[in-house]
Amino acid sequence: MNMMLNKDEQVSALLDGQLQGADFARAVEQVAGDSAARATWQTYHLVGEVLRTGAQGAAAGDPEFVLRLRARLAQEPRGRLESATDLVAAHADLVRVTGHFDRNQEAANESSFRWKLVAGLASLAAVVAVLWLFTAVALLVALAAGAKLHLVYGDLNDASSLNKIIRTVRPDEIYNLGAQSHVRVSFDIPEYTAEITGLGTVRLLEAIRESGLRPKFYQASSSEMFGKVQDVPQRETTPFYPRSPYGVAKVYAHWITVNYREAYNLFACSGILFNHESPRRGETFVTRKITKAAARIKLGLQRELFLGNLEAKRDWGYAGDYVEAMWLMLQQDRPDDYVVAMGETHTVREFLDVAFGHLGLDWQRHVQIDPRYYRPTEVDLLIGDASKAHQQLRWKPTVGFHQLAVMMVEADLEAERLKVQGTGSKGN
């Protein structure tokens, strides 16, 4: 598909998560080697920064461009603005760093604030396929009330940049969510997956150790580490048997975090999170792919949806609940590792039932099986035992499977309706 796109269109497609597999890899190679395409990429992020902050931040390259952009935006009708919480939840694949904030603001342990004290340092993993070669975005966010957003730049493939950021920012907490996070894509780009998802973690840990600072560190481990499961359900003591380059890289990152905790007495925790979804999930992930397609089919914008293994069983939970668990881990007196899961498993077929059924659709009339979406080695069953998190963190999820699927499909239905209305208004 991407071979028919020009360079600007390729950048846009990568940014929007529209490319997969071989198309994804080809577009990355072509775009990364073109200076004009890289400039376009940087412009997209500058536009995003102005939209978020209303001002030129650290990422801006041309003050005059920012002024022109702000003037143009001021002429646009005012729509819904994303909250700071939405910005933080935009990608489950960021490395997040909590920096210093105004201590006079709302206390971090209050229920309304709980997990919202999240900030970031990242390779921008949702689009990391481009960024690994020429730039990476780091997001430093202090989400206390009234706090400003700041962008800092770094790269999980560049140890010197990580060292500089940590010495400059002096964070209190670091949440390492940076990765090439798409399991199927990891089979196409295994070396890069290992470089960022695996070795990126040790670079970050080394930067912490060499800084002499003592920030608390969170490592995003993954249920994909269990792979060909050895226990049902899976808990902290279950042996790992990864079934993808992504899972293997996560196992390395997990154990190197344990090693640094024990070798250097770092406050380092790993959260073994099972599948965490929300309306902001990337469109190439199966849950969001389903809910977006269901919405578009309902509106007559799409007729078919192509999927792979419908019998794969996953333990799906709500990303907002899981971020709260992450934050709670770093509020404990001692570091430890925790499984975070719902404790129930559902097939892809069941997710289809809920998402399409909520819109009064029969998914069997629209879904086609495409062998390209099968993994070379599949993970058939994942179901987590979060007893330790319940007992020690006092963590409880608030959104169940059915509610999650409905939340996602409703959000996509609204978004697609707004797109249609916007298109229609231009023609009047």
Task: Convert the pLDDT of each residue in 363-406 to its tens digit.
Answer: 999 999 998 888 888 888 999 999 999 999 999 999 999 999 99
Give the mean model confidence (pLDDT) for residues 336-357: 98
Pick the catalytic residue from 222, 223, 270, 278: 222
Burial class of residue 169, CB neighbours in 10 A (0-12, 13-18, 19+): buried
Domain 84-275: give its CATH code. Answer: 3.40.50.720
pLDDT of residue 27: 67
246 has catalytic annotation = yes
pLDDT of residue 154: 87
pLDDT of residue 386: 98
Pick the catalytic residue from 123, 161, 218, 224: 224
224 has catalytic annotation = yes
Do residues 158 and 180 lie in contact, with contact meaning Cβ atoms separated by under 8 Å?
A: no
Q: What is the pTM (predicted TM-score) of this model? A: 0.68
Do residues 395 and 389 lie in contact, with contact meaning Cβ atoms separated by under 8 Å?
A: yes
Contact partners, residue 135, CB within 8 Å, separation at least 6: 38, 41, 42, 153, 155
252 has catalytic annotation = no
Burial 171-209 (b: 16+ CB within 10 A, else e): bbbbbbbbbbbbbbbbbbbbebbbbbbbbbbbbbbbbbe
The DSSP code for 389 is I
How many whole angstroms separate alpha carbon 235 and alpha carbon 339? 6
pLDDT of residue 375: 87
Phi, psi of 167 (to 5 degrees): -65, -35
pLDDT (tens digit, 9 = 90+) per residue, 247-300? 999 999 999 999 999 999 999 999 999 999 999 998 989 999 999 999 999 999
Q: How confident is the model at residue 15 (pLDDT cuts 50, 70, 90)?
A: low
pLDDT (tens digit, 9 = 90+) per residue, 209-223? 999 999 999 999 999
Burial class of residue 90, CB neighbours in 10 A (0-12, 13-18, 19+): middle
pLDDT of residue 57: 44
The neighbouring-strand residues paired with 27 are: none
Q: Is the dihedral of CA 16, 19, 25, 27 positive or negative?
A: negative
Q: How confident is the model at residue 150 (pLDDT cuts 50, 70, 90)?
A: confident
* Domain residue limits, the chain: 84-275
302: left (phi over 0), alpha (psi -120 to 50) or beta: beta
Pick the catalytic residue from 175, 246, 260, 322: 246
Q: Does residue 141 have a pLDDT over 50?
A: no
The DSSP code for 332 is S
